[in-house]
Amino acid sequence: NAGVTQTPKFQVLKTGQSMTLQCAQDMNHEYMSWYRQDPGMGLRLIHYSVGAGITDQGEVPNGYNVSRSTTEDFPLRLLSAAPSQTSVYFCASRFNYGYTFGSGTRLTVV
């Protein structure tokens, strides 16, 4: 098992550009989620999914879109990047007794 794989690891965007952060897991986990981590703020939930075709908003969903067409993939789309979206993004999937996280995507919006 590769666990939770996130791509890219680093990305620099210009304000107004759009992009998709990829997240894939090969453990057949139903639940997946996206968090952002900012200094002094901890981890905050952006969106989550309890299975293919089902998504819901977390604490900070504005400016982000998600879809879940397969169990394996849960991409996060930034519609029009803003400097406030500069952050480290983590994808996670749930197993029986916890959540496993990807290694993160460090995004800078200039």
Partner 1 sequence: SQELEQSPQSLIVQEGKNLTINCTSSKTLYGLYWYKQKYGEGLIFLMMLQKGGEEKSHEKITAKLDEKKQQSSLHITASQPSHAGIYLCGADIQGGSEKLVFGKGTKLTVNP
**Which of 68, 78, 102, 107 forms a contact with partner 1 (CB under 8 A)?**
102
Smallest distance, partner 1 to C-beta of residue 74, A: 13
**Which of 34, 64, 74, 90 forms a contact with partner 1 (CB under 8 A)?**
90
Spatial separation of the C-alpha atoms in residues 50 and 26, rounded to whole Å: 16
Query: Of the ranges 19-27, 64-72, 75-83, 98-106, which one interacts with partner 1 (CB under 8 A)?
Result: 98-106
Spatial separation of the C-alpha atoms in residues 9 and 22, rounded to whole Å: 10
Tokens of 86: 């500069």
Q: Judge contact between 4 and 101, C-beta under 8 A.
A: yes
Is 43 a residue that touches partner 1 (CB under 8 A)? yes
